[in-house]
Amino acid sequence: MAEYKDDNNKKQILVTGGAGYIGSHCVLALLKQGYNVVIFDNLSTGHIETVNSLKKYGNVDFYQGDLLNYSYLNTVFKQIAVDAVIHFAACSQVGESVKNPQKYYINNVCGTLNLLKAMLENNVKKIVFSSTAAIYGEPQYTPINEEHPLNPINPYGQTKLMIEKIMEDYDKAYGLSSVRFRYFNVAGADSKGIVGEWHEPETHLIPKILASTHSNERTFEIYGNNYKTKDGTCIRDYINVEDLAEAHVLALKYLENGGKTNFFNLGTNEGSSVKEVFKLCEEIAGKKINVIIRQKREGDPAILVADNSKAKDILGWQPEKKLMQSIKTAYKWGIINAR
């Protein structure tokens, strides 16, 4: 594992949402490469404890603020010399986006517009953006490559697609270069236990399963066991969060070296079924998990797997960690930080 460099790069990266799950792992990856990091986060889902942990490993400044407050955001840009931005800050719950789309369009789209405006105002022309595989909608084929039609089926996915289109226009009009990453399912925690997944309430499958092993009373539901897959349950592509963070550092270096605006899938090119995930969680926790089978949910695709060859070819990125490793680090993080 890379050692943490001591402020030898001097380039300063603004990370929005850097106190959150994926953002905090990206901050660690940047610190390993000697970058100075400025975290901008409203702490609506991120945690100040995470920021304080990160400060132990490199040069990290923190500004608590909201992207919807343009005046404050622009003040931050004028106070610090920003070389590039990595943008994670967003509302990201699919179900909530269906029930309250206004929140998502205002927060995700308007917030990003403010960020881009502040960047242009302060002559910052490089951004790495956290997008989502949800912009593809129902898969027409799998593995899904970047040429797959874009047809999101929920407001969350719509906001991310809108932002991708906005970034294309800003590149053409203002020379603001971007890399947009379309994530599949993210899993795991930092291998050394420095940061990990901490949502309140937790909505992701793996940490919810692992948390349940502390109590034998919890019963989990599997929705559908008659899909046309190897064991009848849905198959998803789980990418390790440290591998994901490494891709963001590579994207930053790609832009620093004159790389053009581009977009990439981030996944493993492999799929694991829901039953396989449960089995691995049981093995790692050493406990049986109570499961009942329910009817499949409308709109749940049988298989969602990424074709990641473009990121490999252009960025030189290679996911290294398997699902077992992701679950082990998630379990370790959950035990150490039981809340």
For the annotated catalytic residues, the residue numbers are 156
C-alpha triplet 231, 291, 224: angle, nearest 5°: 45
The single-letter code of the amino acid at 117 is K
Distance in angstroms (rounded) separating the CA atoms of residues 265 and 184 = 8
Phi (first) and psi of residue 306, to 5 degrees: -90, 145
Distance in angstroms (rounded) separating the CA atoms of residues 179 and 185 = 19
Supply the angle between the helices 205-212 and 274-285 in degrees, to the nearest 10. 40
Q: 268 in helix, strand or coil?
A: coil
Measured in residues, the chain has a length of 339
The residues, ordered by sequence, that sit 6+ positions from 35 with a Cβ below 8 Å of its Cβ are 9, 11, 12, 13, 58
Here the tokens at position 263 are 């977009």
Integer-rounded Cα Rg, in Å, for the chain is 19
C-alpha triplet 45, 48, 51: angle, nearest 5°: 105
Q: 291 in helix, strand or coil?
A: strand
318: closest CA among 308, 305, 327, 326? Answer: 308
CA 147 from chain centre, in angstroms, equals 21
Distance in angstroms (rounded) separating the CA atoms of residues 122 and 29 = 25
Is the CB of residue 115 less than 8 Å from the CB of residue 67?
yes
Is the CB of residue 39 less than 8 Å from the CB of residue 12?
no
